[in-house]
Amino acid sequence: MSKLLSSMFNRLVKWSMFWFVTVIFALISVLEVLQKKHMNQDFANLIFDFTNFLPIAVIAAAGIFISKDYANNTIRNKIIVGHKRSSIYIANWILSACISIIFFLALTATAAVLGLTMLRTQQVSYNALLVNWLIGLLVMLVHSSIVTFICMLGKGSSSVLLAILVHFLTLIMVTIAQLFEMFNNNKVSKFLLEFFPTNVIFKLNTYEIIDNAALAAIYLTVIIAAVTLLGVYIFNRTDIK
Amino acid sequence: MEYVLTTNGLCKKYKKSKALDDLTMNVPKGSIYGFVGRNGAGKTTLIRVICGLQYPNDGEFTLYGVKNTDRKIDKSRQRMGAVVETPSIYLDMTAAKNLEHQCRIIGVPSFDCVYELLQLVGLEDTGRKKVKNFSLGMRQRLSIAMALVGNPDFLVLDEPINGLDPQGIIETRELILKLNRERGTTILISSHILDELSRLATHFGFIHNGHMVKELSAEELENACRKCIHIKVSDTKILASVLDEMNVEYKIISEDTADIYANIKVTPLVLALDKQGCEVITMNQQDESLESYFISLVGGKENE
């Protein structure tokens, strides 16, 4: 596994697109802080202002990175030389998770460091901020698990598009659930809105998640574990061309 | 004889079609095993199965004595390198970077072998040129170099001369022979270019419709394809004594047929046989090429 990770991270650090997106996220935070400073606004929940854009960036970046191994057929090189399929899958998940964490940190850590030093912080609840931040991190890891699952089992460059499509489908589902919730207090739609990763990231802005933070954390961890284990199970039994 | 790879009744199905059908083969250690078959005969499927890319539906194989169902099969695979079908390389990297990447995957601690491998396949002058700008032949050579990272004992090459120019074909052939002779690498090479295989292989396996039709050594194949006079007589014992007297190489095939491996004058032979009461029934010259031998094995036009 360490050999696989070493080779994959070596590829990642040389991937200019990855650094470009990371810098863009950091830049967004810098501009946001400068704007708030200019308008004399409070720090409030600044660090989550643009988290909505993170899932799609993670899906695109991690998806492209994983799919390249299929597009170039280089996934074969790893299996032929005796790496276990489960190690290959887990290594890809770890890499995808790292991409998520780096993007998340580029956005939130930059905003936190600059915001807390440059803006007023009277309204800031540090506890709530930390809880939301951890939940946000888990949501990013859920997206990593899903994109790894789709791209490792989709076995082609088109799986990135499939992963993006799935993300948009979840957005549509969340919107439908919100509409249902408006008209009747449906249990299913309530559950979806409460814990659906796509909606959780929307809720971070408003601190809504804090009430059910522990449950949300368990729910998100279960999704990560279930998706990853299912992915390893299927990948272990899949034929590769 | 020690075998690197043995398969026993391997079967692989794709939906309704059988790609491998009860395939049994043995690749001796230190050999260059030519795996011959038409397009779609099952050559690439077998290679995918032994490389661990696909799973057999039935049957088993052993690699260095380790069964495919054994957990240790991954360890055995660390001793092999392979080029399966199309080149497996990163197009946005240079040749050297691709090799360095493969070194990392295998866990080779230093990249000292990179330049040596590039030299070996004739790509040492590619410099910073990215693989996406390589010709198919150059990519094919790079794939072979990738398969050689870590000095494998067993090299599997699926149609390695596809896309190579004549010079590339000669260089690849020399490279394969060099690896086999100098490093003792066992090589399994699949191809439908029989002429090329006949210059390399020490052993042959003929596959048809996923089934192994015949396995034989190069020597046996040479004998089978040797120019000879096929003669049918009433008594092969008399024929043998006459041929012995004439100091001619021959092989008795059955009670009434034999193959004579020499350019002999027919009249003295027939007269000598007649003198001893042996009747010559038929006599014809056989000059079977590898191609015609292959066609005779797989059924020729019947199977087209």
Topology adopted by domain B226-287: Alpha-Beta Plaits (3.30.70)
Q: What is the pLDDT of residues B131-170, one digit of tens each?
A: 888 888 788 888 889 999 888 989 999 888 877 788 878 8
Question: Does B72 contact chain A (CB < 8 Å)?
Answer: no
Q: Kindly list the residues from chain A whose CB atom is less than 8 angstroms away from the CB atom of residue B55.
A: 237, 239
Determine whether the interchain pair A74/B89 forms a contact, defined as Cβ–Cβ distance below 8 Å: yes
Q: Which of A80, A235, A241 to mutate to test the interface with B (most CBs of B within 10 A)?
A: A80
Q: How far apart are the first and last CA of chain B?
A: 36
From the CA of A189, how many Å to the nearest CA of chain B? Answer: 40
Residue A37 lies in a domain: yes
pLDDT band at B301 (very low <50, low <70, confident <90, very high): very low
Distance in Å, alpha carbon of B202 to nearest chain A alpha carbon? 24
pLDDT bracket for residue B45 (50, 70, 90): very high
Contact B99, B144 (CB under 8 A): no
Q: From A67, which residue of chain B is nearest by alpha-carbon distance?
A: B90
B244: left (phi over 0), alpha (psi -120 to 50) or beta: alpha
Check residue B62 and give its pLDDT.
92
User: Distance from A54 to chain B by nearest Cα, in Å?
Assistant: 26
Look at residue B164 in the predicted model and tell me its pLDDT: 77
A79:B101 CB<8 A: no
Antiparallel, parallel or unpaired: β B17-28 and B3-14: antiparallel
A77 vs B76: CB contact, 8 Å cut-off? no
pLDDT tops 90 at residue B14: no
* pLDDT tens per residue across span A107-145: 888 888 888 787 777 776 777 788 888 888 898 899 999
Q: Which of B88, B101, B107 sits opposite A76 (nearest CB)?
A: B88
**3-state SS assignment for residue B190:** strand
Is A82 within 8 Å of B146 when comparing Cβ atoms?
Answer: no
Closest CA to B81 of B102, B104, B60, B54: B102
* SS3 of A44-108: CCHHHCCHHHHHHHHHHHHHHHHHHHHHCCCHHHHHHCCCCHHHHHHHHHHHHHHHHHHHHHHHH
The pLDDT of residue A195: 67
Choose among B77, B86, B150: nearest Cβ to A73: B86
Question: Which is more confidently placed, B171 or B64?
Answer: B64
Which of B15, B74, B80 would you mutate first to test chain A, the one with the most A CBs within 10 A? B74
Report the distance separating Cα B161 and Cα B140, nearest Å: 8
Q: Do A81 and B53 touch (CB under 8 A)?
A: no
The CA-atom distances, in angstroms, between B92 and each of A4, A58, B147 are 19, 21, 19
Number of folded domains in chain A? Answer: 1
Q: Between residues 123 and 162 of chain B, which touch chain A (CB distance below 8 Å)?
A: 146, 150
Which residues on chain A are in Cβ contact (under 8 Å) with B53?
76, 79-80, 239-241
- As a whole number of angstroms, the distance between CA A113 and CA A111 comes to 6
Q: Tell me, what's the pLDDT at B295?
A: 78
| CB A45 within 8 Å of CB A126 | no
Residues 71-110 of A with CB under 8 A from B: 72-84
B chain contacts of residue A6, beta-carbon cutoff 8 Å: 104
Q: What is the maximal distance between C-alpha atoms in chain B? A: 79
Domain ranges of chain B: 3-216, 226-287
- Name the average pLDDT for chain B: 85
Rounded to whole angstroms, the Cα distance separating B151 from B119 reads 15
A76, A218, A50, A169: which is closest to B44 by C-alpha? A76
- Architecture of the B3-216 domain: 3-Layer(aba) Sandwich (3.40)
Asked if A80 lies within 8 A of B78 by C-beta distance, the reply is no
Flag if A73 and B90 touch (Cβ within 8 Å): no
* Angle at which helices A213-236 and A187-195 cross, to 10°: 80
Is A239–B53 a contact, with Cβ atoms under 8 angstroms apart? Answer: yes
What residues make up the domain containing A157?
2-236
Q: Which chain A residues are within 8 Å of B78, Cβ to Cβ?
A: 81-82
The neighbouring-strand residues paired with B283 are: B231
Of A7, A77, A82, the CB nearest to B78: A82
What is the pLDDT at residue B86?
82
Q: B-contacting residues of A 181-240, CB under 8 Å?
A: 237, 239-240
Contact list in B for residue A237 (CB cut-off 8 A) is 55
Chain B residue numbers with beta carbons less than 8 Å from the beta carbon of A9 are none
In a domain, A71, yes or no: yes
d(CA B38, CA B193): 9
Per-residue confidence (pLDDT) for residue B299, from 0 to 100: 66
- Regions in chain A scoring below 70 on pLDDT: 45, 124, 185-186, 195, 205-211
Q: What percent of chain B has pLDDT over 70?
A: 97
Give the residue, B271 or A192, on which the prediction is more confident: B271
pLDDT of residue A148: 93
Strand order in the sheet with B17-28: B17-28, B3-14, B58-63, B66-67
